[in-house]
A and B are shown apart, each in its own frame.
Chain A
Amino acid sequence: GAVVSQHPSWVICKSGTSVKIECRSLDFQATTMFWYRQFPKQSLMLMATSNEGSKATYEQGVEKDKFLINHASLTLSTLTVTSAHPEDSSFYICSAKAGGQFEQYFGPGTRLTVT
C-alpha cells in the first residue's frame, strides 16, 4: 500500500523559534497533501490543503503566516510553525492523495512540544 512518512516524529522547541515538519509520499506521486492538527483527546482538525505547485488553501481560523506550507514537489510537503508558542503544542499529521484516486493516506504524525 501507499506509504507516507513524516519527519521528525517528535520535536521539542523553545517558545519563539520555528519548526519545520516534512511529509513525504514514498511510493506514489501526491498531487494533493493535507495537514491536520490533533489536540489530546480530540479529533483531527484540517488545517490546510495544498496542491503541488500551488499555494495552500487554509481553513478558517488557521493563520497562514504562522503555519507556512510548501508543496514544491509531488512527493514532499513541508509545514513550518513560525514563532511557536506553547499553545501550538499538538500532534501534526499530514496526508497525501494521488490524482484520480479516492484514498487519502496518512503519515504517522509529528508530536510538537513547545516549552
Chain B
Amino acid sequence: DAKTTQPTSMDCAEGRAANLPCNHSTISGNEYVYWYRQIHSQGPQYIIHGLKNNETNEMASLIITEDRKSSTLILPHATLRDTAVYYCIGTASGAGSYQLTFGKGTKLSVIP
C-alpha cells in the first residue's frame, strides 16, 4: 500500500468548503485512493475513491493531481456533523480481497 501523509488537524467554518489534502507520492499505477472518515466511537464510513480522474458523489469530491502524487477531498458545505477523523488510504484493488491500512488521518473540526 502507498504511504500517505495528511495534516494532523484542520478547522473549517460551518457552511464553508472543507479541503482536506493528502500526499501519496509513492502511489503505484494500480493503487486507488480511498477516503474514509470516522466519527468519534463509531466505525469508519466510506466516502469516495478514485484512480486517476476526479470523482464526485453525494458526500464529497475527490481531486487527484495529474501525477497522482497527491489528492484533495472536498466537502462542499461542511456541517457540524462532518466533524470526524478523515483517512486517506492508497491501496490496490483487484479481483481478490484487499486491505486498508489506516494512518493517523486528519482530525477535521467544523466550527459553528
CB < 8 Å neighbour of A108 from B43, B46, B100: B43
A97 surroundings in chain B (CB, below 8 A): 97-98
Whether the Cβ atoms of B42 and A108 lie closer than 8 Å is yes
Determine if B105 is an interface residue (Cβ-Cβ < 8 Å).
Answer: yes
A105 and B99 alpha carbons, distance in the complex (Å)? 12
Determine if B104 is an interface residue (Cβ-Cβ < 8 Å).
Answer: yes
Whether the Cβ atoms of A104 and B46 lie closer than 8 Å is yes
B44 to chain A, nearest CB (A): 5
Name which residue of chain B comes closest to A50, CB basis.
B97
B102 surroundings in chain A (CB, below 8 A): 36, 43-46
* Chain B, 83-98, CB within 8 A of any chain A CB: 87, 93, 95, 97-98
Q: B-side binding surface: helix, strand, loop or mixed?
A: loop
Q: Which of B49, B93, B97 has the most CB of A within 10 A?
A: B97
* Chain A, 86-104, CB within 8 A of any chain B CB: 91, 93, 95, 97, 100, 102-104
Name which residue of chain B comes closest to A45, CB basis.
B102
Determine if A67 is an interface residue (Cβ-Cβ < 8 Å).
Answer: no
Number of interface residues of B (CB under 8 A): 22
Asked whether A106 and B97 contact (CB < 8 A) given A43-B103, A43-B104, the answer is no
A-B contact count, CB below 8 Å?
A: 53
CB < 8 Å neighbour of A91 from B41, B49, B98, B104: B41
Whether the Cβ atoms of A104 and B103 lie closer than 8 Å is no
Other than the given A95-B100, A104-B98, A105-B46, 17 more pairs (CB < 8 A) read A4-B43, A6-B43, A32-B97, A43-B87, A43-B103, A44-B38, A44-B102, A45-B102, A46-B100, A46-B101, A49-B97, A93-B43, A102-B49, A103-B46, A104-B46, A108-B43, A109-B41
Contact surface of B with A, Cβ cutoff 8 Å:
32, 36, 38, 41-46, 49, 87, 93, 95, 97-105
10 CB contacts below 8 A, A to B, read A32-B97, A49-B99, A91-B41, A95-B43, A97-B98, A104-B98, A106-B44, A108-B42, A108-B43, A109-B42
